[in-house]
């Protein structure tokens, strides 16, 4: 099996700005998946294929 990255976790101060960077700047699709129901903040998921 070829090694690949399947999951990366990053902490950011401004989630909306970070999502815009990864979605619009790097072209990573989010499919609108942003979770806000977490105790210590929110998360966004990007499909790295």
**Of 16, 8, 23, 24, whose CA–CA distance to 42 is shortest?**
16
Cβ(30)–Cβ(19) below 8 Å:
yes
User: What are the pLDDT digits (tens) for 1-49?
Assistant: 888 887 777 888 888 898 899 889 998 887 766 677 777 777 888 777 6
**2: which residues sit within 8 A by CB, 6+ positions away?**
none
Per-residue pLDDT, 6: 78
pLDDT at 21: 93
pTM (two decimals): 0.65
What residues does each domain of the chain span?
A: 1-49
What pLDDT score does 37 carry? 72
């Amino acid at each position: 099996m070829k090694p690949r990255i399947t999951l990366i976790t990053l902490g950011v101060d401004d989630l909306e700005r970070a999502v815009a960077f990864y979605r619009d700047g790097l072209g990573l699709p989010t499919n609108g998946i942003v979770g806000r129901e977490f105790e210590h903040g929110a998360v966004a998921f990007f499909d790295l294929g």
